[in-house]
Amino acid sequence: MTLTDRLTDLANPTRFLALTARVLPWLMAITAILLAIGLFLSAQAPDDYQQGATVKIMFIHVPNAWLSMLVWGVMSIASLGTLVWRHPLADVAAKAAAPIGAAFTFLALVTGSLWGRPMWGTYWEWDARLTSVLILFLMYLGLIALWRAVEDPSRAARAAAVLTLVGALNLPIIKFSVDWWNTLHQPASVMRMGGPALDRAFLIPLLVMAIAFSFLFLTLHLAAMRNEILRRRVRSLQMMQASQTGGASQAGAVASDASTASRGDGTLKPTIGTA
């Protein structure tokens, strides 16, 4: 089976739900194990010669900062899926990812702030990196608000997809802000030309935590997608119920009018509806 066939197969929400039911327990277990190892390695990491023990904030701040951008990247691909390929699960994926991405971005901002106070002497500075990440956080909140404001999921999906793709322009700005402008924030020290500048004693716990948080995102995202599919089922069943009820009462009213008219006496007697 080719990748295209597999993706087409997963376009069926029922098959997707069956897949998540099988995969989620494994993902939860892998995430918990990786987080435990990552936290253990972070606790064992030595103090930095300049930053002392505050370097431990890096193990929680950097994975959240990476994921804040990665989640928007995932949402951008999903938005292409909505606008170009009209994949049935694309907007489900984008909508489910937004609150998780917002949470990671919030953590990146707050842990960065808590790291900045002892290192820079300030919690916040309106420089390019911090401001562009704050804008990313506000964009997440804007998308969540948009999805909540528009009741019809398909209409909301198209508007949100356009907004997400426009917002993706912020990702290279965040990534290269430390190179393009003067900033308090340090330049890239892991994903850079010439390899990581970090010592292995810090790099290994950082990478394990980054992988653990990536698995956490994957697990939460699949679970949130499953919830969104169920929410849409509930909505469609409620609409079906409302149309049946509406149809029944209309049919009842028509039958009532007909029986009243045929009797010609103008009295209103209850009539059994046809629905």
Partner 1 sequence: MALGPYASFILTSYLLAALVVALLIGWIGLDYRSQTRRLRELEQRGVVRRSARSATEIR
Note whether 11 and 19 are within 8 A (CB): no
* Separation of alpha carbons 99 and 109, rounded Å: 15
Note whether 122 and 92 are within 8 A (CB): no
Q: Which two tokens stand for residue 261?
A: 């008219």
Residues 19-38 that bind partner 1 (CB under 8 A): 21
Point out which span in 129-137, 163-171, 183-191, 217-225 binds partner 1 (CB under 8 A): 217-225
Which residue of 8, 186, 238, 250 would you call a contact of partner 1, by CB under 8 A? 238
* Separation of alpha carbons 170 and 69, rounded Å: 9
* C-beta of 8 vs 245, nearer to partner 1: 245
Which residue of 65, 69, 139, 220 would you call a contact of partner 1, by CB under 8 A? 220
Q: Which of 52, 68, 167 is nearest to 109 (CA)?
A: 68
Q: How far is the CB of 237 from partner 1 (least distance, A)?
A: 5
- For tokens 């930095």, what's the residue? 48
Which residue of 7, 234, 251, 261 would you call a contact of partner 1, by CB under 8 A? 234
- Which residues are bridge partners to 218 per DSSP? none
* C-beta of 208 vs 216, nearer to partner 1: 216
Q: Which of 87, 86, 84, 82 is nearest to 147 (CA)?
A: 82
Point out which span in 126-134, 189-197, 235-243, 261-269 binds partner 1 (CB under 8 A): 235-243
Note whether 227 and 17 are within 8 A (CB): no
Residues 71-90 that bind partner 1 (CB under 8 A): none
Q: How far is the CB of 224 from partner 1 (least distance, A)?
A: 5
Sign of CA dihedral 212, 215, 217, 220: negative
Residues 89-128 that bind partner 1 (CB under 8 A): 99-100, 103, 106-107, 110-111, 114-115, 117-118
Q: How many residues bind partner 1 (CB under 8 A)?
A: 41
Residues 163-202 that bind partner 1 (CB under 8 A): none
* C-beta of 56 vs 168, nearer to partner 1: 56
Binding of partner 1 at residue 249 (CB under 8 A)?
Answer: no
Helix residue spans in the chain (DSSP H):
3-10, 13-44, 58-80, 90-120, 128-149, 153-167, 170-180, 200-263
Which residue of 10, 11, 17, 203 would you call a contact of partner 1, by CB under 8 A? 17
Which residue of 34, 38, 61, 143 would you call a contact of partner 1, by CB under 8 A? 61
Q: Is 112 exposed, middle or buried (0-12, 13-18, 19+ CB in 10 A)?
A: buried
Q: Is 259 exposed, middle or buried (0-12, 13-18, 19+ CB in 10 A)?
A: middle
Write out the residues near partner 1 by the rule CB under 8 A.
Answer: 14, 17-18, 21, 43, 47, 52-54, 56-57, 60-61, 64, 99-100, 103, 106-107, 110-111, 114-115, 117-118, 216, 220, 223-224, 226-227, 230-231, 233-234, 236-238, 240-241, 244
